Structure 1
Amino acid sequence: MAAVRRYDILDTPPDGTYDRVAALVAQTLRVPIATVTIVDEDRIWFKAAQGLPQGVCETSREPGLCASAILHGESYVVPDALRDSQALTNPLVRGELGLRFYAAAPITTADGFRLGTVNAIDTRPRKATDRERGILRDLAAMVMDGLELRLSAMRTVQLERELQESKEANLRAALDSRAGIDQAIGVIMAQQRCGADEAFAFLSRASQNRNVKLRDLAAGILTQITTGPDPAPDPPVR
């Protein structure tokens, strides 16, 4: 389930990319129903569906169909669900849909995790040819490619957001630092009765002598002005 969460695909809005995959399955394998599903902890969620009733977006994780197909590394076929002991109890088989034929290929990550399946479904029993199995595997690989691209785009957006936030934070810090330095220069000008250039030179020299960053020294001067006696820095050299 960690792999499914990593791709953050569950309960996302319809996407034309996956809708087209389901349509291709239906057209190429000549089946009335085709789906792209993601297997969650306790449900099978339809990322795309062709031929299902309007509003159907998930089903329970019963054995025999998607929940069984996800356990196989290659394509998985049930020629006649009424003759399959596991599939026979599945709601899609015993319910109104009356599923009889089921073929699927797993959607597998590069590190070997199976997220879901690409499925071909018929209400009549039939067999799946090697060519049809290959088509399902290829389309499942295409779905995985789409998920990888989506994940990469999400990470890029997140990185750009973090970089922007970092830039804004650095800019705010720089502005705050500059404002503090300017205020400290004003304090020195008032105390030493000197010009801005002399006050800045004095502040820079004090920073070097004390091995303290300019902004930190300025902050210290302002703190002493507001909370205690004057910092009484060394007089500037004229």
Structure 2
Amino acid sequence: MPGFLGAAGNALAFQADLLHEYAMHRPIPAREPERLDALRSYAILDTLPEVGLNEITDLAAQICGCPAALISFVDESRQWVKAKYGLPPDMSECPREISICQATICNNDILYVPELEKDERFNTSPLVTGDLALRFYCGAPLITPDGHALGTLCVIDFQPRELSFEQREALRRLSRQTMVHLELRRQLLARNEMLRKMESARDQALAEKAESERLLLNILPASIADELKTNARVQPRFFDSATVILIDFKGFTRLVETLEPASVVDQLDQHFSRFDEIMARHRLEKLKTIGDAYLAVAGVPEPSHSHALDTALCALEVLDHLAKLNRQREKLRLPAWKARVGINTGPVIAGVVGKHKFTYDIWGNTVNTAQRLESAAEEGRICIAESTWHHVRSRFETESRGPVEVKHRGLVNMYYLNRIKPEFADDPGGIVPNDQFWKGS
């Protein structure tokens, strides 16, 4: 083991019983548990050499005219050397049981022993009787502001030596300077730890803020979320022209009765997630789902002159997706998911409701009529109001249904939206628009 025992090049030869007898008489500092806690708070043990402390040992040796000096700390089981002058590079520690510095930290004052061989406290120490053959020791304790001696600054010699009063006082002052250095080091470590915690807390706060904003954007349009964050409220707005789409699944109640609850939720989630992708691609804003119903709007909150066209394209893509899915389910003899779609164009009022759980929603007869259109639609078809038909008739093939009785509205002219006209379609099914579709729109 590197340490005092190997400093002279060979292990000290001593018997275990002699070491035990010597250790039995070693004093223990008062408030030892608190002293060890204080030592740990400085985080000094087993750290790399530091220039500032090495220079103190150099200065101590020169002032005292000694060949060696060291700064060391005493923990539960050892004396560990932090800085040294005139000692072998491999000397890093020795057992606490044989440490002379152990006595120094118990006295909380300079320990001056001009001739170790003649001092009955130390003349049987392996450090004196062994190969290291120490003959002189003078150590000053390193005392914290709370009065705990963490270790020592000591000078040693291999022959007896006398120090003047001034030399001993200089050693005492250097020990205090060592503690100033250690205290500044501890404060710097504490500051760095505080900064690390602050940085960690800031990163966590930023992550939580980003997550909150992400969740907010999941339920509110970006412009509405920004307004809410800036003003803590959202001003209701009137839009004189927007297009509302409502989708639901016909026979959903009977379908639910044939499926496990988990399967129902999972399949609805898959459908609505796909609807979300389609809506986003065509610039529609999803508002909410109610059971098996899916409500979205175009032209809100960002006005758009193509909102009716965008909604019609969305509806065709939704039904195309379900048609492809149902063909696969039919092969597996699984029940089909049959949707009805209602679309209406007109004025709406939009705003945010709720204080803890925000909802961006729209109101007005345009929304109510869209619901009636959806209820009046046949499964697998898109029913549009006359107001929407005027916006889309030049680019889509439609089919008149004539006046249809609507609750609380009387007779309402309705149309079925079938597909994009061939000259404006980029595919045989009339689902994907070509470049010509958007010219002049």
TM range (shorter): 0.7 to 0.9
| Contact preservation (8 Å) 1:26, 1:50 | yes
Query: Out of 351, 354, 357, which is 1:202 matched to?
Result: 351
SS class of match (1:105) = strand
By how many angstroms is 1:161 displaced?
A: 1.3
| Contact preservation (8 Å) 1:105, 1:137 | yes
By how many angstroms is 1:138 displaced?
A: 0.8
Query: Out of 248, 269, 287, which is 1:188 matched to?
Result: 287
| Contact preservation (8 Å) 2:287, 2:296 | yes
Q: Are residues 1:161 and 2:196 paired?
A: yes
| Contact preservation (8 Å) 1:79, 1:127 | yes
Amino acid at match of 1:202: G
Q: What's the CA shift string for 1:16-45, capped at 9, x where partnerless?
A: 111111101111100011111101111111
Q: Aligned residues, how many?
A: 215
**Where do residues 82-231 of structure 1 align in structure 2 (5 Å cutoff)?**
82-185=117-220, 186-188=285-287, 191=295, 193=297, 195-196=300-301, 202-203=351-352, 205-207=353-355, 212=356, 217-218=357-358
Q: What's the CA shift string for 1:78-125, capped at 9, x where partnerless?
A: 111001112112222112221111101100000100000000111121
SS class of match (1:86) = coil
Amino acid at match of 2:295: Q
| Contact preservation (8 Å) 1:62, 1:90 | no
* CA distance in structure 2 between the partners assigned to 1:63 and 1:235 by the alignment: 85
| Contact preservation (8 Å) 1:34, 1:50 | yes
1:172–1:196: structure 2 CA closer, same or farther, 3 Å change rule? farther
Q: Are residues 1:71 and 2:106 paired?
A: yes
Higher Rg:
2
* CA distance in structure 2 between the partners assigned to 1:148 and 1:17 by the alignment: 13
TM-score (norm 2): 0.46
Higher fraction of strand: 2
Amino acid at match of 1:130: F
| Contact preservation (8 Å) 2:98, 2:127 | no
Greater RCO (Cα-Cα under 8 Å, separation 6 or more): 1
In the alignment, which residue of structure 1 is the partner of 2:86? 51
SS class of match (2:351) = helix
In the alignment, which residue of structure 2 is the partner of 1:229? none
Unpaired runs of at least 5, structure 2: 1-35, 221-284, 289-293, 304-347, 366-441
In the alignment, which residue of structure 2 is the partner of 1:227? none
Query: Out of 48, 51, 57, which is 1:16 matched to?
Result: 51
* CA distance in structure 1 between the partners assigned to 2:81 and 2:95 by the alignment: 11
Amino acid at match of 2:286: V
* CA distance in structure 1 between the partners assigned to 2:161 and 2:55 by the alignment: 24
1:36–1:142: structure 2 CA closer, same or farther, 3 Å change rule? same
Amino acid at match of 1:195: V
In the alignment, which residue of structure 2 is the partner of 1:226? none
| Contact preservation (8 Å) 2:98, 2:126 | no
In the alignment, which residue of structure 2 is the partner of 1:6? 41
* CA distance in structure 2 between the partners assigned to 1:64 and 1:163 by the alignment: 41
Q: Are residues 1:26 and 2:65 paired?
A: no
Amino acid at match of 1:206: G
Amino acid at match of 1:148: E
In the alignment, which residue of structure 2 is the partner of 1:225? none
By how many angstroms is 1:147 displaced?
A: 1.0
Unpaired runs of at least 5, structure 1: 222-232
Higher fraction of helix: 1
1:43–1:64: structure 2 CA closer, same or farther, 3 Å change rule? closer
| Contact preservation (8 Å) 2:79, 2:99 | no
- TM superposition outliers: structure 1 runs of 4+ over 3 Å: 233-238
1:237–1:132: structure 2 CA closer, same or farther, 3 Å change rule? farther
